[in-house]
Amino acid sequence: MKILVTGATGNIGRMVVDHLLAAGAEQVRALTNNPQRAALPAGVEVAEGYLRRVSSLPAAFAGVDRMYLAPVLETVDEVVALAQDAGIRHIVDLSGDEHTEWQPIATAVAKSGVDWTHLYAGEFTENTFMWADQVRSTGEIREPYPDSANAPITMDDIARVAAAILLSDGHEGRIHHLTGPETLTRADRVRQLAEAIGSPIDFVKVSRAAAIQQLTPTMGEFAEWYVDGLEMMVEHPQQPTTAVADITGAPATTFARWAAANAHLFR
């Protein structure tokens, strides 16, 4: 069984490759736009190509049985049509439900005629890195909604799930909602991060407008959407699922564990 990992040098795609190899997969093909710089592990078949350059994909898709589809919106219809033509039997996509901008990926894959599994992931725990400069320079976090709550998931946990599904049967036609193991407020996350770095971090409550202004230089037009999402989760906190543990046999990574592993980046 040959498995293709698209976006194989991206954050999650590379982790999918690593987890496939760790699980004993012997035929892994990795799609990358720059094979010379990819530095992929020995034993991986490297294919040059890019999801946004559809003309580069037919050779990479040839002979593939299953594929991890990285989240690229612009060309998804063409990509899944090529996958069907190539005889790929199962696509595992990282996408999102109808409330996210990633729903068109799931829709295109489901309409393709190929067996599919949708991975709907919550907020990445790694988004916490947006706090790093604030913490290092001021020892505080400035946000508007300390009681906003969700269950963030690490990229590695998403990759573990994708690899496990690619190597097993029984997930065809299923949607898996992926979260971390616990619901935490923003204030909870600040407290756990402070414990991990061994220094106090103050939560400074600011206005919605100030938060949007603060995030716009890095997020652009998505800053307002992000802040409004935080507000929504005050009254509607995200509840954790057990999907990571159910699929992989190991629990999802707690925020405290992630914070301890990355504490040096906040000091």
Q: What is the pLDDT of residues 153-166, one digit of tens each?
A: 999 999 999 999 99
The label of the residue with tokens 């508007």 reads 144
Show me where the domains of the chain are located: 3-121, 125-152+182-239+253-265
Q: What is the pLDDT of residues 10-56, one digit of tens each?
A: 999 999 999 999 999 999 999 999 888 888 988 899 999 999 999 99
3-state SS, residue 118: strand
Just give the CATH number of 3-121.
3.40.50.720
Given pLDDT bands bounded at 50, 70 and 90, which one contains residue 99? Answer: confident
Q: Is the CB of residue 71 less than 8 Å from the CB of residue 104?
A: no
Find the Cα–Cα–Cα–Cα dihedral 227, 229, 235, 240, rounded to 10°.
-130
Indicate left, alpha or beta for 24 from its phi (over 0: left) and psi (-120 to 50: alpha). Answer: left
Q: Which two tokens stand for residue 65?
A: 């049985």
Q: What is the pLDDT of residues 106-132, one digit of tens each?
A: 999 999 999 999 999 999 999 999 999
Contacts of residue 39, defined as CB under 8 A and 6 or more positions apart, other chains included, come to none
Task: Report d(CA 153, CA 27) in Å as an integer.
Answer: 28
Domain 125-152+182-239+253-265 top-level CATH class: alpha beta
**pTM for this prediction:** 0.95
- Write out the H or E segment, with its range, that includes residue 262: none
The answer to whether 3-121 and 125-152+182-239+253-265 have equal CATH topology is no
Given pLDDT bands bounded at 50, 70 and 90, which one contains residue 140? Answer: very high
Task: Report d(CA 117, CA 222) in Å as an integer.
Answer: 28
- The mean pLDDT value for 66-89 works out to 97
